[in-house]
Structure 1
Amino acid sequence: MSPQPASASASGKGLETGYLLAAVTILIWAGFVVVSRIAGKSTLTPFDVAALRIGTAALVLSPWWVPRLLNPALRQLRWYQSALFAALAGVAYPLVCYEGFVHAPASHGAVLISGTMPFFTTIFAFVLLGERAARVRLLGLSLIAAGVAAMFAANFTGAASAASSGSVLFGDLMFVCASALWSLFGTLLKFWKVRAFTVTLGVVAFSAMFYLPIYALALPKNLLQTPMEQVVLQAVFQGVIVVCVAMWTYAKAAELIGPSKLAVLTSLVPATATLMAIPILGESLSAAAAIGVALTSIGALMGAMARTPEPRGS
């Protein structure tokens, strides 16, 4: 038997690395749901949490992005790419998410942010990349849709039904908008074929330069009224773990396995976050939610294993 070509071996290792980075991203995103809901129930405003996220990440990554800012020869992204990535993933996405967690439970965010992401990504990938979804992936998306519907229905039973429907609905709308924003970000990574660490630096630099001055001068803030342990928790988790770690793992995984497969895999976030919320936030898992977790997980795995057909005209 002849040995595998080196390129095939390298490709296999790249896929393995991509799936490993996707798993890390899923765990961090599940934690993001729980920690963001903790922030939403605290005295911190969404603008405070975004500032902690952006400011901490900018400080940690300053040895890499400051030299690029001062020396144009070191920059690997065009200014409009960095600006758009920062607008989507650095500012708009977290602000919309945090606003959602003020109004709606963590379980709603878990289901609606990551649960709807495969559908938005499939649309953006078709429009920007000409990528057609395989039949197996479409079946996986159908199972994800059923799982999301079951979990969403479960979230509106019992105690959740007593909440203000208008406020919860507004929070849910914010979660859906956040999903669309991140899906577009992920697809643009593939469209422009940019490197993960370069994107992370561009997002952090542009977000810090534009958002932090506006926050300091004009936006409402409650940092001084919030216990220090809450501030530290949000700064470390949102700024270091979510931005410095998860943004890189997501971008690198998208580079290695593609944004569509990654978006399908991140459908495991609702199940993971729901299970994490049980001991941390005291949430319970109903029978309908358990069915939703199972359907979403199976659909995500089916979609991730499906081969991507060649774009039309290739």
Structure 2
Amino acid sequence: MHQTVPLSDERLRRRRKLAFVGMAVAMLIFGANFVVSRHAVLNGLSSHDMLALRFVTAGFLLLPSFMMAGGLRDCAGLGWGRGLVLAVMSGFPMSFLLMTGLTYAPAAHGAVIGPGTVTVIGIVGSVVLFGAVLTRQLVLGVAAVLIGLACLGIAGTAYANPGIVFGDLCFLGVGLIWGGYPLLIQLWRVDALKATAVVSVLSMAYLPIYFAFYFRGFDVAPWWVLLAHAINQGVLNVIVGLWIWSWSTPVLGPSVAGRFPPMIPVVGTLLAIPMLGEIPSGLQIGGIAMIIGGLFIASWRRPAR
């Protein structure tokens, strides 16, 4: 009978170091995606082009995994009800709001508003669904995030193009939809990579709509630009980033892994300055700082002994 051999202390330390590096890479991928996608829509590619590149790449790469898990018979073993719900929360609808928001609003807003809202939804959902304790630390963190979101809303209305407000509302929708996704993954005990395959394959249903109404030919950008964005959208963000996150979290433990997501708005905000020249106003800087600070406060927990 096969027995699991415990890992030595040295191997455990190496695994934890690798997990730390992996989580940092995942934060860089997710945070940079806001800037890279914003740059794309400002330089000729539409939000529909980006969505098509995202799902045609991830969908075809994960199609074998989807079919081996059960395929269309029962939606890869999840059941069609659960599969469709997850596809709405993490597939085309959520991605459409994200790409539309990046068409109107700065990348830094997307990198801050989305993760900020996800954190609030995650905390509330953990208390309601899983009986998590609502500590003073969590309340302060959520309050700081909400104040920061209000600052960005006021700044967008008073000092910026009104279109930015629409983009910020799209980012808010992203956070509201995406915030429920990890809660349902945990509630239904669904493997993260299996859920990703379901979401990616089901989202390929958008491709006929794209080619019928929004396809402008393959010469909208050089081939290497299309290839680069296909890799960024479908491979790095949908497959690699999620796999790294899924592997690193149990190695580090939830108390340590929860400290990394607040780095997403930091990466997105800082990269947007040199790459896009997006320098936030004073009130926007204050709102971004409040959200980032709230995320750190809410996610910083003492590791269990």
Normalising by structure 1, we get a TM-score of 0.77
Compute the displacement of 1:93 (Å). Answer: 1.0
Indicate the SS of the match to 1:283. coil
Supply the distance in 1 between the matched residues of 2:13 and 2:186 (Cα, whole angstroms).
19
| Match 1:242 to one of 203, 212, 237 | 237
Alignment of 1:82-231 (within 5 A): 82-148=83-149, 161-163=159-161, 165=162, 167-208=163-204, 210-217=205-212, 219-228=213-222, 229-231=224-226
User: Unaligned stretches of 5+ in structure 1?
Assistant: 1-5, 309-314
In structure 2, which of residues 268, 275, 291 is the aligned counterpart of residue 273 of structure 1?
Answer: 268
Deviation readout 1:18-40 (Å, 9 max, x if unpaired)? 76654333221211110121232
> 1 CA distance for matches of 2:125 and 2:16?
22
What are the Cα deviations for residues 58-97 of structure 1, in whole angstroms up to 9, with x where unaligned? 2333342333355969944333222221221011111111
CA distance in 1 between partners of 2:133 and 2:88 (Å) = 27
The answer as to 2:232 corresponding to 1:232 is no
Judge conservation of contact 1:44–1:222 (CA < 8 Å) in 2.
no
2:273 corresponds to 1:306: no
Cα separation, partners in 2 of 1:276 and 1:134, compared to 1, 3 Å:
same
Paired residues in the alignment total 295
- Cα RMSD of the aligned pairs, angstroms, is 3.7
Q: Alignment partner of 1:194: what SS? A: coil
Structure 2, unmatched stretches of 5+, are 1-5
> In structure 2, what residue type is equivalent to 1:240?
V
Aligned mates of 1:188, 1:12 — CA distance in 2? 32
Q: What are the Cα deviations for residues 203-249 of structure 1, in whole angstroms up to 9, with x where unaligned?
A: 122222x22233333x3233435112432232111111111112334
Equivalent of 1:282 in 273, 277, 280: 277
> What is the identity, as a one-letter code, of the residue corresponding to 1:175?
F
Q: C-alpha separation between the residues in 2 aligned to 1:255 and 1:54?
A: 28
CA gap 1:29/1:275 in 2 versus in 1, 3 angstroms = same
Contact 1:116 1:179 in 2 (8 A): yes
Shift of 1:284: 2.6
Looking at structure 2, the residues matched to 141 and 169 of structure 1 have their Cα atoms a distance apart, in angstroms, of 22
Q: Percent identity?
A: 28
Residue type of the alignment partner of 1:57: A
Amino acid at match of 2:189: K
